[in-house]
Homo-oligomer: A and B are copies of this chain.
């Protein structure tokens, strides 16, 4: 339910931390005190004792924009100070600003832009940045700025500096939509917002380069794609979503690439959508993904 009119006065509250009795009741009580009506609530624990607690709540609160500050202070007092929990409180109507990095392959990029235009993705795509100029025309047809930032393999720092100038404080999420360059740890640190990558294999199978070539050589019967948060360790970040498609010995590496491309764009669009609806919580090197609720 991403429609503008449905989002007015809807809030999302994500709570996580060490599990202990009474958290759900506590959160519910704070929301009720402020006049919020719980629309959907999804909660889970990693175990009965010594476990971690995760809760995603969607609520409706008249005059949410005016009330959100007071609600946040109550939550801080009740959850943060008293229970040692962390939380995130957002207005559903504030769409996340997203930058997309891409190289030459267009399928993931165009799928994201088309879904956004169609109203399926609750985001604002602020810009597309590429190390190649090829996709500029396609992007600008969506009335989205396109920046060509070439990457010199002997001086990546210069390109990263230019990228950071474009992104810094302007985006809430960076999506690597088949961006064939490694981003440095320094870049991630300085950027300070989550980064989602699509890897063209079912991780942890076939890390690194040319996964379809590797898949062909190993003779697998399914190929897949993985969307994950980017960390300094290449292809090792927390997985958000994965899917696969059946292949046979008859198919060439190029056939695998084509079939895989359909999986890549579906998997990436799901991961971006879920992240932007605040459904994904990192839990160490894994993720909690809340599928239910609005």
- A residues with a Cβ closer than 8 A to B are 1, 6, 21-25, 28-29, 31-32, 37-45, 48, 60, 106-107, 110, 114, 118, 120, 141, 202-206, 217-222, 224, 238-244, 248-250, 252, 254-255, 258, 262, 266, 283, 285-289, 291-293
Do A250 and B1 have beta carbons less than 8 Å apart? no
**Closest Cβ neighbor of A252 among chain B residues:** B1
Do B44 and A286 have beta carbons less than 8 Å apart? no
A160 to B294, CA, bound (A): 44
A249 to B118, CA, bound (A): 24
Do B204 and A203 have beta carbons less than 8 Å apart? no
Residues of chain B within 8 A of A31, CB atoms compared: 25
Residues of chain B within 8 A of A1, CB atoms compared: 252, 254-255
Instruction: Give which listed residue, B219, B224, B242, contacts A287 with CB less than 8 A.
Output: B219
Do B222 and A243 have beta carbons less than 8 Å apart? yes
Residues of chain B within 8 A of A293, CB atoms compared: 44, 250
A225 to B109, CA, bound (A): 25
Q: 26 pairs across A/B with beta carbons < 8 Å?
A: A21-B37, A22-B32, A22-B38, A25-B29, A25-B32, A25-B38, A29-B29, A39-B45, A39-B48, A40-B43, A41-B42, A42-B42, A44-B250, A44-B292, A44-B293, A120-B258, A141-B141, A203-B220, A219-B283, A220-B239, A221-B242, A248-B292, A249-B283, A249-B286, A249-B287, A250-B292
Do A203 and B205 have beta carbons less than 8 Å apart? yes
Other A-B contacts than A41-B43, A203-B205, A249-B289, 19 sampled, CB-CB below 8 A, are A6-B48, A21-B38, A25-B38, A28-B28, A39-B45, A40-B43, A205-B205, A217-B286, A219-B286, A221-B239, A221-B240, A222-B242, A222-B244, A244-B244, A248-B289, A249-B286, A249-B288, A250-B292, A250-B293
A260 to B110, CA, bound (A): 19
Known: A25-B28, A32-B25. A248 touches B286 (CB 8 A): no
Residues of chain B within 8 A of A202, CB atoms compared: 202, 205, 222
A266 to B40, CA, bound (A): 30
**Closest Cβ neighbor of A292 among chain B residues:** B250
A22 to B106, CA, bound (A): 42
Task: Return A57 CB to nearest CB of chain B, in Å.
Answer: 8
A241 to B224, CA, bound (A): 15
**Closest Cβ neighbor of A29 among chain B residues:** B25
A127 to B204, CA, bound (A): 37
